[in-house]
Amino acid sequence: MLSRVADSIYWMNRYIERAENYARFIGVNFNLAFDLPPNVNEQWEPLLIATADNYLFYQHYDEPTRENVINFMTFDKRNPNSIYSCLMLARENGRTIRECISKEMWENLNELYLWIKDVKPQSEWDLNHMQNFYTQVRNGTQLYYGVVDATITRNEAWHFGRLGRFMERADKTSRFLDVSYFTLLPDSDVTGSTLELVLWTAVLKSVSAYNMYRQQYQTLTPTHIVEFLILDKLFPRAMAHCIRQAELSLYEISGTPITNRFSNQAEKMMGKLRSEIEFTEVEDIFKLGLHQYLDQFQIRGNEVSKSIFETYFDIKPVEQ
């Protein structure tokens, strides 16, 4: 497979996953808006900080109001991570490799982009209207993954796409948890209160984890929620599960048996990250500090992504 094709497939899936997760990020605050006490104001800046978009945001906006943050994270073409930009870039990557993907996959990508292109942002959308819009984004991206799983041969291309999806998902789950840290940060009195529980519940609902969590744990506690979203090996949005699945696809691409040692730098870095999560307990996370642990994970995840790029996408021609 050409490295250019592999790169396009990898990033096409990362962009689709990123668009879905940005819709989920905003869902965190929507869920909170329905549950917060009347005397507590909505907070939108934590979304920008957790996604590391706050520096770019303040280059174009003065205040992190609900309207500004929603427009920046959803429709703003100046933001390369906005939902609109992600769907546009995913479609562009798909367009350049149409011969390598299925007809149904391309049609789904194209329809998703054309749909959001025609949506007109409105400053005075009510909460129900906005919730419906972001639900449509999530449904559209999940339909895309259904089409991929139903129409693509399980070859290198499929594994590169799967690798991109799970790398992006692991990173964004860590940032979902970081939203709670930055939301609680301004008011230390919130810690241990009912409001903190409301916030953690919103995080679970926003990653569609609430029902699966309640099947496994009887009570809602920050310790159990962090353990579930970071260390659970079976829930599809848990960080441990995502990294393990990404590692399996990485070994399938190289053809190296998973029982063997790594065969390239990408497998080495991925294996180190997976083993660190595997041998971590929730007490270790809180001992270090949740934010500090998530920050370190995001740095290590970026290092793994860099090694994937250098191993497979940045291949230089051999000099004779």
Q: Are residues 200 and 185 in the same domain?
A: yes
Q: Are residues 30 and 72 in the same domain?
A: yes
Cα 225 from Cα 193, distance rounded (Å): 16
Q: Are residues 85 and 230 in the same domain?
A: no
- The mean pLDDT of 171-183, rounded to a whole number, is 82
Q: pLDDT, tens digit, for every residue of 55-104?
A: 999 999 999 888 899 999 999 999 999 999 999 999 999 999 999 999 99
Closest CA to 206 of 161, 175, 176: 176
pTM assigned to the model: 0.91
Cα 319 from Cα 98, distance rounded (Å): 31
Confidence label for 147 from pLDDT (cuts 50, 70 and 90):
very high
Structure tokens at 102: 């299925």
Share of the chain above pLDDT 90, in %: 63
User: Total domain count for the chain?
Assistant: 2
**Residue 207: per-residue pLDDT:** 87
Q: Are residues 272 and 295 in the same domain?
A: yes
Q: Are residues 175 and 303 in the same domain?
A: yes
In a domain, 320, yes or no: no
In a domain, 303, yes or no: yes
Q: Are residues 178 and 285 in the same domain?
A: yes
Contact (Cβ atoms closer than 8 angstroms) between residue 179 and residue 149: no
In a domain, 208, yes or no: yes
Contact (Cβ atoms closer than 8 angstroms) between residue 105 and residue 148: yes
Confidence label for 189 from pLDDT (cuts 50, 70 and 90):
low
3-state secondary structure 127-160: HHHHHHHHHHHHHHHHHHHHHHHHHCCCCHHHHH
Write down which residue in 151, 179, 204 finishes a domain. Answer: 151
Closest CA to 74 of 155, 13, 131, 5: 131
> Sign of the C-alpha dihedral, residues 265, 267, 268, 270?
positive
Mean per-residue pLDDT over the chain, rounded: 88
Q: pLDDT, tens digit, for every residue of 253-295?
A: 998 887 778 888 999 999 999 999 999 999 999 999 998 999 9
Contact (Cβ atoms closer than 8 angstroms) between residue 297 and residue 242: no
Contact (Cβ atoms closer than 8 angstroms) between residue 47 and residue 178: no
Q: Exposed, middle or buried, 153 (CB in 10 Å: 0-12/13-18/19+)?
A: exposed
Cβ neighbours for 254, distance < 8 A, ≥ 6 positions apart: 263, 264, 267
CB atoms closer than 10 angstroms to residue 98: 12
Q: Are residues 104 and 243 in the same domain?
A: no
Domain that includes residue 94, residue range: 1-151
Q: In which residue are the tokens 């230390």 written?
A: 188
Q: Are residues 291 and 222 in the same domain?
A: yes
Cβ neighbours for 113, distance < 8 A, ≥ 6 positions apart: 87, 88, 90, 91
| Length, in residues, of the chain | 320
Q: Are residues 144 and 186 in the same domain?
A: no
Write down which residue in 120, 151, 182 finishes a domain. Answer: 151
Q: pLDDT, tens digit, for every residue of 213-223?
A: 999 998 888 89
CB contact burial 209-219 (16+ within 10 A = b; e otherwise): bbebbeeeeee
Write down which residue in 151, 185, 219 finishes a domain. Answer: 151
